[in-house]
Structure 1
Amino acid sequence: MDQDSRYHYGVIARAIAVIDAEPGLGLEALSARMGMSPAHFQRVFSAWVGVSPKRYQQYLALGQAKTLLAQRRTTLEAADGSGLSGTGRLHDLFLRWEAMSPGLWAAKGEGLTVRWGAFDSPFGPAVAMGTEAGLCGLGFAAELGLEATREELMARWPKARFIEDPAAVAPWVEAAFTGRGEARLALIGAPFALKVWEALLTIPSGMVTTYSDVARAAGNPAAVRPAGTAIGRNPVGWLIPCHRALRKSGALGGYHWGLPVKRAMLAWEAARSEARDDGMELAEPCAEQGYQGRVIA
C-alpha cells in the first residue's frame, strides 16, 4: 500500500468511527475533525465509500439493518444456486480456503507456527495471524484494543508457537482490504463450524441473511444456537462475512469485535453496492471478496 493510500485508510477509518459515535455531525464539523476542507473530505470519502458522508450516516442507522433484511436479503440457497458462491462474479478477489485437519484442530494447534502482526484497516486497528498455508486469524481491535485482540486470537490455538512477523502476513492483509492479490485462508475449526463458515461465504456483499438460514445451509436447521456460536467464533472477520448474519427481526444481534464495527461493515457494503448499481466507479480500499471452491472438511 502506498503512502497516500495508507493516509486515506486512516482518514476513512477515523471518519467512520466518528460518524458511528456522533451520527448527527454535519459535513463541516466532520471534515474539521479529519483536518481537511469540506470539499476535499467529501471527495475522498465519496470516492472510497461510494456515497457521500451524509448518505453513509443514513446507512449506519439501525433501521438500515431491517431494510436490508426486508428488501435486499438473499437466502443462502438462492445465492448458492445462482452461482454467486462459485465464480464470484460480483467480486474481484480470488480467495482460496483450506481447512486444517480435524486432528490438528483437536490438538489445539500443537506443532503449528503462527506469525502475526498489527495493521490498519478501514474498520480500525486489526490483528492478523497466518501459517504457511494462509491467513488463520483476523480480528478488529477498536473496542478490545490490540493486545486483548491478539490474546483472544491466540487463545484459539493455545498450543501453537506464535512469532511476531508482520511482513509474513502483510500480503494477505493487503489483499483482504484492497482487493489486490490473493488472500489465502487456513482455518481450524470443528466440522459444524466449518460448514457454518462456508455458508457465510455464499452471502454476497451488500446482502444479509438470518442465523436460521445459516443453520439450514450448514445442514442442521434446528441448530440455530450452535450456528450462532460458530458465527461468533469466526476467526477471520470480514473475509468470512459473519457481519452479514442478522436476527429475523432485523436486529443486528451480536458481533465478536463490537457492534459499531458490524454496523460500519454493513453500511460500507450497502453503500458501495448501491453505488455500483448506479454505475459509479469506485476506488478499492477494501476487499470485495470472491470465492471459489468449497471447504475441505
Structure 2
Amino acid sequence: MKTQQALNYERIASAICFIRENYREQPGLEQIAEHIHVSPFHFQRLFHEWAGITPKQFLQYLNIGYAKKILKETHATLFDTACELGLSGTSRLYDLFINIEGMTPGEYKNGGQDLDINYSFEDTPFGSIIVASTGKGVCHMAFADEGEEKALANLQSLFPNAAYKQTLDTKQQNALSVFNQDWSKLQEIKLHLRGTEFQLKVWETLLKVPAGGLTTYADLAAKSGYEGACRAVGTAIGKNPVAFLIPCHRVIKATGEIGNYHWGEVRKNAIIGWEAAHL
C-alpha cells in the first residue's frame, strides 16, 4: 500500500506534467486541481508544501523560460512573444519579466546594451576568481575553475551586448579586500544586482549572516519573510551572482551537513573553516 507521501508526490508530478504540457493555455488553479482530482484549496496547499512556491508561480517560471528563448533566438516582437505564451498582451509580459527577472523584456532582449562592465581576474585563498563591476557596483563574482576564457564567456552570456574592458577598478578592489581578512571596508562595497524581489530579499538576508556564522535554509527562509519556502530559497541561493560577498557558503542543512555549493563542497568547507579560524 502506498504511503500518503508517495500519493502526494504522484499528484504533484501529475500536476507538473499537466502544467508543462498546457502552459500556453495558461491553466488556472481550478483546472489543474480538477486534473488530479482534488479541491483547488487542497491542491494549492499541497503544491506549496512540496515546492515552496504556488502553482501560479511555477507557471510563471515556465512562461519566463519560454519567453526568454523566443526573445533570444528569434526576431519576434514583444507583442508576438506575449501572444505565443497565451498572455493577453505586452503589459502582462512586462509584469512577468519584472516579477521573475527583475528587468523589463526589452532590457532582457537588448542583453545589457549601453552597459559598460569592467572585469579582472584575481587569485584568492580558494582559487582564481573573476570579478566584474558597472558604474553602480560589483555585478558578478565567480570562481574561474574552468579557466579565464570560460569564466569570461559565462559573464558575457549574462550581458551579451555590454561593452567589456579588462581593468581592476576601485569597486572591485574594495570587494576583493575581504580575501585579505579585511572586513573593515564592507560598507564601501557596492553591489549592482539584477534579480527578482524574492531573490533580492533572500540575498539581502544572507548579507546579514556574519563572517564565521552559519544559518540553515529553514532559518533563512523565515528571516527572509518566506517561512517554509526552503526549496524556493535554495533556488534563489543557487542564483547568487556574487560568490563569497553574498555568503551562500554560510547556509547549511538543518541536520548539520554542509550541503551543496555551486563551486564545490570542498571549497565550501574550506571557506567556512577559513572564516572561523580568522575570527
Q: Could you tell me the TM-score, scaled by structure 2's length?
A: 0.56
Contact 1:208–1:246 (Cα < 8 Å) also in 2: yes
Indicate the residue corresponding to 1:263 in structure 2: 269
Distance 2:191 2:142 in 1: 14
Indicate the residue corresponding to 2:75 in structure 1: none
Relative CO higher for 1 or 2, CA cutoff 8 Å, sep ≥ 6? Answer: 1
Distance 2:267 2:102 in 1: 31
Question: How is 1:263-282 mapped onto 2 (pairs within 5 angstroms)?
Answer: 263-273=269-279
Question: How is 1:34-113 mapped onto 2 (pairs within 5 angstroms)?
Answer: 102-103=102-103, 107-108=107-108, 109-113=112-116
Distance 1:249 1:144 in 2: 32
Q: 1:192 to 1:171 in 2, by over 3 A?
A: same
Contact 1:120–1:126 (Cα < 8 Å) also in 2: yes
Question: How is 1:183-262 mapped onto 2 (pairs within 5 angstroms)?
Answer: 183-262=189-268
Contact 1:104–1:188 (Cα < 8 Å) also in 2: no
The higher radius of gyration belongs to 2
Distance 2:105 2:249 in 1: 24
Contact 1:140–1:257 (Cα < 8 Å) also in 2: yes
Indicate the residue corresponding to 1:38 in structure 2: none
- Structure 2 SS opposite 1:155: helix
The letter for the 2-side match of 1:196 is V
Indicate the residue corresponding to 1:151 in structure 2: 153
* Identity %, equivalent residues: 38
Q: State which of 109, 113, 137 in structure 2 corresponds to 1:134.
A: 137
- Structure 2 SS opposite 1:137: strand
Give the Å deviation of 1:105. 8.9
The letter for the 2-side match of 1:107 is E
Question: Aligned Cα RMSD in Å?
Answer: 2.4
Distance 1:146 1:260 in 2: 21
More helix by share: 2
Extract unaligned runs of 5+ from structure 1.
1-100, 274-297
Q: State which of 151, 160, 163 in structure 1 corresponds to 2:162.
A: 160
The letter for the 2-side match of 1:265 is I
Contact 1:105–1:189 (Cα < 8 Å) also in 2: no
- Structure 2 SS opposite 1:184: coil
Contact 1:118–1:128 (Cα < 8 Å) also in 2: yes
Distance 1:105 1:221 in 2: 30
Contact 1:247–1:253 (Cα < 8 Å) also in 2: yes
Q: 1:241 to 1:163 in 2, by over 3 A?
A: same
The C-alpha deviation readout for 1:197-235, integer Å capped at 9, x for no partner, is 011011111111111111222221232112111111111
Distance 1:154 1:252 in 2: 31
The C-alpha deviation readout for 1:20-53, integer Å capped at 9, x for no partner, is xxxxxxxxxxxxxxxxxxxxxxxxxxxxxxxxxx
Contact 1:201–1:240 (Cα < 8 Å) also in 2: yes
Distance 1:106 1:198 in 2: 26
Q: How many residues align?
A: 172
Q: Could you tell me the TM-score, scaled by structure 1's length?
A: 0.52
The letter for the 2-side match of 1:171 is Q
Extract unaligned runs of 5+ from structure 2.
1-100
Indicate the residue corresponding to 1:172 in structure 2: 174
Distance 1:225 1:159 in 2: 33
Give the Å deviation of 1:165. 2.3
- Structure 2 SS opposite 1:220: coil
